[in-house]
Amino acid sequence: MANVSIKGLQKLYGTVEALSGIDLEIEDGEFTVLVGPSGCGKSTLLRTIAGLEEISNGTIAIGDEVVNDMRPRDRDVAMVFQDYALYPHMTVFSNIGFGLMARKLPKPEVEKRVKVAAKMLGIEKLLERYPRQLSGGQRQRVAIGRAIVRNPQIFLFDEPLSNLDAQLRDEMRSEIKRLHQDLGTTMIYVTHDQIEAMTLADRIVLLRDGKIEQAGSPLDLYERPATYFVAGFLGSPRMNFIPGKLASSGGKHSVKIDGGLSLPVPHEVPASSKKDKIVLGIRPQHISRAGGGSVRNGHARLNVKVELVQPTGSRAYITFPLGKTVVMAELDSHDVHKPGEMIDLDFDMNRAVLIDPETERVI
Amino acid sequence: MVLAAAPRRRRRHRLEIGRYIFLGIYLLFVLAPLYWMLITSIKPSNDYLAVPPVWFPDKPTLVHYVVALFSYRGLRGLINSLIISLAATVLSAFIGSLMAYSLARFNTGGKHLSFWVLSQRFLPPVAIVLPIFLIYRNAGLHDTHIGLIIAYTVFTLPVSVWMMYAYFRQLPRSMEDAALVDGCTRWQAFWRVAMPLSAPAMVATAVFAFIACWTEFFFALVLTSRDAFTLPTVFRAFIGFQGALYGEASALAVVSLAPSIVLGILVQRHLVRGLTLGAVRG
């Protein structure tokens, strides 16, 4: 087990900067998820940690040792690849034991460790088979087996679940989480799937265009996004962004949107951030059907006309216009019945964010 | 519907018969010369050009084989050809694979080196045969196995490199990456993962190289004389001013055909896979 310390990392492909100024400290035993849209550099970052890509500037240290010039085999890391990367010409046993044999461990020891790993993943009966005789889920287990059998300091996962169907993905996700709890080894996991990121991570590192946009605990990023990008990237359905103007009177702030509507801003707004134009961000989950009684503190109540209803079972996504913006809310399925209905909605403004459209930063 | 089905079936039936007739004619076209060669090799000399033609000799003989192999040193040519072709094939496939791997994985030589390698095939051999002859004579390589092995390796390399290059380019890198992380050096990743996976392509490449070496005549003619001569050069002796030794020529042709046929049968399965692997992305 070991911590990973990355300082000022830069990766250039010719003149194209794939990663720039990456500073990241990953604690021993932490489950870190690198997440971001495709092309943001998350896989490249993982590959530089594995040693499969050389870095242009900066340092990567595993434990206390700088590994910049160290070959992948000497870094004591194990990696699970998106396409499993099993060796098609070897049996499952040889696939799992390959790393141990390459390191010239005695045969009985290899056998023992392969069997332990196989048992852990429930694939003991498949050891004599070839990868082509396995299903997608089984292949993924073999790939994970190949990683754990070596008992490495760090596990690296490069979108390991993206080739699996939805049900299997859920299953394997839980298994990876359990694996982390059992082994307690440092894990770094790349995904573009925010559900995977939220469910697995101790800490999420969100990348954009080769830079770290925000790093923190999943709830931190979800509830206190630092930028417009983070706010929009995490959460499903996506956060609503409603352009408006910031107005203040008597020490109280509100956002005025098209159509003369006004939504209160319960928290303090720093004087420096008092911009005329502003974007209000509110998640669909924070808009609910208003009950009877008075409006709670920090909440706003608006009467809206439902345009579209998308039931998903227990919940229903509804869309409605607010000024010129189409806004989505996630309600209980029984709260709404058909398009065209006029309903009262409660906006929890305590959990809304204000974004400066120029800097794209959350105020 | 039932009424309409009958003529359609008849039409399909006729089409089927037409197809078989076409295939029959094609087979005749392909096999007739081979049959004629085989028969001529066991015909007594008088029957070569007899009218009407002799389709099967009354008294088959193996004398042409004996004459071609021993009196005309055909056996020596056969052995030389085997040594030279096999050695050049192994070298070409091996060196070609290494070059191709380097081009595919490390982009060696930038954009243009791979095409430059192929461009070496554009050169007509006659343009370089004299310089090579002079170099070989001075270097003591003339009329040696080594000399011809080197020449053949060099001539077959461009195609070997390109066939393997096409294959390695479509082979996912992640398996080698996995091997590197698992504890292999770059060489081990190549040797233990990339090479076993490229066996079909390697077989196809080797077959091409072997056939090219086995049938090569021009360089063998110029670069060898009494010792390292190959099978194709032996055929010269059968056509003279007095006439042609059809029986001996046919006998040696049958002998020279054998390795290609055996090879073809042995590697047929790999050959088809190897040739299509570069084209189809998995």
Q: Is the Cβ pair B197, A99 closer than 8 Å?
A: no
DSSP one-letter string for A302-361: EEEE--EEEE-SSEEEEEEEETTEEEEEEEEGGG--STT-EEEEEEEGGG-EEE-TTT-B
Phi, psi (rounded to 5 degrees) for B253:
-65, -40
**Residues in a beta bridge with A33:** A189, A204
Q: Is the Cβ pair B178, A81 closer than 8 Å?
A: yes
Question: Measured between CA atoms, how close is A121 to chain B, in angstroms?
Answer: 19
Q: Is the Cβ pair B177, A81 closer than 8 Å?
A: yes
CA angle B249, B251, B252 (to 5 degrees): 65
Q: Is residue B59 part of a domain?
A: no
Q: Is residue B124 part of a domain?
A: yes
State the best of B107, B111, B181 to mutate against chain A, taking most chain A CBs within 10 Å. B181
Top pLDDT among A269 and A179 is at A179
Q: Do B30 and B80 sit in the same domain of this protein?
A: no
Question: pLDDT class for B37, splitting at 50, 70, 90?
Answer: very high
Q: Is the Cβ pair B182, A88 closer than 8 Å?
A: no
In B189-248, the residues whose Cβ lies within 8 Å of chain A are: 192-193, 196-197
Taking CA–CA distances from A98, the nearest residue in chain B reads: B182
Is the distance from CB of A192 to CB of A37 less than 8 angstroms? Answer: yes
Question: pLDDT class for B18, splitting at 50, 70, 90?
Answer: very high
Closest CA to A222 of A244, A242, A199: A199
Long-range contacts of B22-31 (CB under 8 A, 24+ apart): none
Question: pLDDT class for B7, splitting at 50, 70, 90?
Answer: confident
Q: Do B80 and B43 sit in the same domain of this protein?
A: no
Q: Do B96 and B200 sit in the same domain of this protein?
A: yes
Residue B136's CB is within 10 A of a number of other CB atoms, namely 20
Of A51, A77, A85, the CB nearest to B175: A85
Q: Do B144 and B195 sit in the same domain of this protein?
A: yes
Q: Do B131 and B30 sit in the same domain of this protein?
A: no
User: What's the pLDDT score for residue B139?
Assistant: 95
Closest CA to B235 of B216, B248, B225: B248
DSSP one-letter string for A175-218: HHHHHHHHH--EEEEEES-HHHHHHH-SEEEEEETTEEEEEE-H
Question: pLDDT class for B100, splitting at 50, 70, 90?
Answer: very high
Q: Do B268 and B148 sit in the same domain of this protein?
A: yes
CA angle A182, A80, B103 (to 5 degrees): 160
Average pLDDT, stretch B61-66?
92
Is the distance from CB of B202 to CB of B171 less than 8 angstroms? Answer: no
Residue A133's CB is within 10 A of a number of other CB atoms, namely 12
Question: pLDDT class for B4, splitting at 50, 70, 90?
Answer: low
Q: Considering Cα of A127, then A128, then A134, then A136, what sign does the dihedral take?
A: positive
Q: Is the pLDDT of residue A7 over 50?
A: yes
Q: Is residue B58 part of a domain?
A: no
User: What's the pLDDT score for residue B280?
Assistant: 36
What are the strands of the beta sheet with A315-322, ordered from one edge?
A: A308-311, A315-322, A325-332
Q: Return d(Cα B278, Cα A342) in angstroms, integer.
A: 62
B207-237 pLDDT tens trace? 889 999 999 999 999 999 989 999 999 988 8
A319-334 exposure pattern, b = at least 16 Cβ within 10 A, e = fewer:
bbebeebebbbbbeee
A240-355: CATH, from 3.20.20.70, 3.30.70.100, 2.40.50.140, 1.10.3720.10:
2.40.50.140
Q: Do B245 and B194 sit in the same domain of this protein?
A: yes
Q: Is residue B153 part of a domain?
A: yes
* Residue whose entry in the numeric block shows the structure tokens 């998903």: A312
Q: Return d(Cα B11, Cα B270) in angstroms, integer.
A: 38
Q: Return d(Cα A72, Cα B237) in angstroms, integer.
A: 62
Question: pLDDT class for B279, splitting at 50, 70, 90?
Answer: very low
A51-64 pLDDT tens trace? 999 999 999 999 98
Q: Do B21 and B131 sit in the same domain of this protein?
A: no
Q: Is the Cβ pair B183, A73 closer than 8 Å?
A: yes
Question: pLDDT class for B281, splitting at 50, 70, 90?
Answer: very low
Q: Do B202 and B98 sit in the same domain of this protein?
A: yes
The reply to whether the predicted model has a pTM over 0.95 is no
Q: Is the pLDDT of residue B184 over 70?
A: yes
Q: Is residue B54 part of a domain?
A: no
Average pLDDT, stretch A335-352?
88
Of A47, A88, A99, the CB nearest to B183: A99
Where exactly are the structural domains of chain A?
4-233, 240-355
Closest CA to B200 of B272, B116, B143, B110: B272
User: What's the pLDDT score for residue B10?
Assistant: 86
Q: Kindly state which CATH superfamily the domain A4-233 is placed in.
A: P-loop containing nucleotide triphosphate hydrolases (3.40.50.300)
Using a CB-CB distance cutoff of 8 angstroms, which residues of chain A are in contact with residue B180?
Answer: 51-52, 71-73
Q: Is B185 within 8 Å of chain A by CB?
A: yes
Q: Is the Cβ pair A102, B181 closer than 8 Å?
A: no
Give the CATH number of the domain where residue B272 resides.
1.10.3720.10
Of A52, A83, A146, the CB nearest to B180: A52
Listed in sequence order, the DSSP H helices in chain B are 2-41, 63-66, 74-106, 113-119, 126-139, 145-170, 174-182, 186-189, 195-197, 199-215, 218-223, 231-234, 246-277
Is the distance from CB of A288 to CB of A344 less than 8 angstroms? Answer: no
Q: Is the Cβ pair A103, B183 closer than 8 Å?
A: yes
Domain extent for B172: 72-277
In A76-105, the residues whose Cβ lies within 8 Å of chain B are: 77-79, 81-83, 85-89, 98-99, 102-103
- This model of the complex carries an ipTM of 0.84
Of A81, A88, A99, the CB nearest to B197: A88
Q: Is residue B33 part of a domain?
A: yes
What are the strands of the beta sheet with A4-13, ordered from one edge?
A: A16-26, A4-13, A57-62, A65-66
Kindly state the percentage of chain B with pLDDT values over 90: 56
Phi, psi (rounded to 5 degrees) for A167:
-65, -45
A242-296 pLDDT tens trace? 998 888 877 788 888 877 788 888 877 776 666 678 899 999 999 999 887 788 8
Using a CB-CB distance cutoff of 8 angstroms, which residues of chain A are in contact with residue B170?
Answer: none
**How many domains does chain B contain in total?**
2
Q: Is the pLDDT of residue B187 over 50?
A: yes
Q: Do B216 and B273 sit in the same domain of this protein?
A: yes
Q: Is residue B55 part of a domain?
A: no
State the best of B111, B177, B182, B192 to mutate against chain A, taking most chain A CBs within 10 Å. B182
Average pLDDT, stretch B166-173?
90
Taking CA–CA distances from A82, the nearest residue in chain B reads: B174
Using a CB-CB distance cutoff of 8 angstroms, which residues of chain B are in contact with residue A77?
Answer: 181
